[in-house]
Amino acid sequence: MNRRLGLAVVAVVLLLSTAGCLSYVTGGGEVSDERLDREPAQPYSWDTDRDAQLTLHTTDEVQAIYRVDADQRLRLYQSTGLGTEGPLDISAVRFQYANGTVISGTELRDTPDGEVEQTPDEVYVTAPADGQLAFSADATPRRLSLPVYVEGSYEVILPEDYRIDFFLFGNTAPRGAASEIVDNQVHVRWAEVTGPMVVVQYYLDRDLYVFGGAVVLLSLIGVGGLYYYRRQIDRLHDVRVQMGLDTEEDDDKK
């Protein structure tokens, strides 16, 4: 019985090891043409003057634009938990040359100097020339967290009606960010970011009213509970007096 169990464990370990090695040999799966050339949810804002601009039109997807140099290779990855990393699930890849010409993700991959290569741990994208690289990726609602793929000036644009000011619900990292509201969207800016992560935690503006209402309600419940508790104590004292149980105590107080 023990021998069979041992053989089964060895077989499972070998199977997992073989699968892992195979994934590395095959490159962990290619980024499909459909994903590379997918239309972005909103047009990319190529006119940014930042080295990196991260725009959230919705809470579950980020549009990233990075200023890159010719032959610059970006390693796009994300944390998958327990200290491990996995490839960033990119789509709608576009590249804009310095002269304004925009090419799709498959066209970038097919250029002599361009590259889009996925491994089990990351996606490598190599810029074919000086310009801007744009792509879309999934985002965690109300918390944007991305590694710093490109160092320099950063800007994060939040969806409409979302804010970062209230310290319990809002936060930014690294420190030193400046923010302003433009057309009901918060713009968070850093003059220089060198890593390792850019994090913006944000909340819906009306959440504060819900939070305030909950605090008031809990306060009223607490006050009501204390009042009820005090009334019960007074009533119990009156009953004890009527039964003559607290007579001696009252006499001592006199």
Contacts of residue 119, Cβ cutoff 8 Å, sequence gap at least 6: 24, 27, 28, 87
As a whole number, mean pLDDT of residues 95-116 equals 97
As a whole number, mean pLDDT of residues 198-214 equals 79
**What does the radius of gyration of the chain's CA atoms come to, in whole angstroms?**
30
Residues 206 and 64: their CA atoms lie apart, in Å, by 27
For the chain, what are the domain ranges?
24-204, 207-253
Taking the CA of residue 27 as centre, how many other CA atoms within 13 Å lie in the half-sphere pointing to its CB? Answer: 8
Please state the pTM of the whole predicted model: 0.75
More confident residue, 14 or 215: 215
CATH number of 24-204: 2.60.40
Res 19: pLDDT: 42
pLDDT at 3 over 90: no
pLDDT at 125 over 70: yes
pLDDT at 12 over 50: no
Chain segment 29-78, per-residue pLDDT in tens:
689 999 999 999 999 999 999 999 999 999 999 999 999 999 999 999 99
pLDDT, mean over the chain: 85
Res 226: pLDDT: 72
Res 26: pLDDT: 39
Q: With bands split at pLDDT 50, 70 and 90, how would you rate the model's confidence at 126?
A: very high
Contacts of residue 233, Cβ cutoff 8 Å, sequence gap at least 6: none
CB-based contact 117:123 (threshold 8 Å): yes
Res 20: pLDDT: 44
Q: With bands split at pLDDT 50, 70 and 90, how would you rate the model's confidence at 28?
A: low
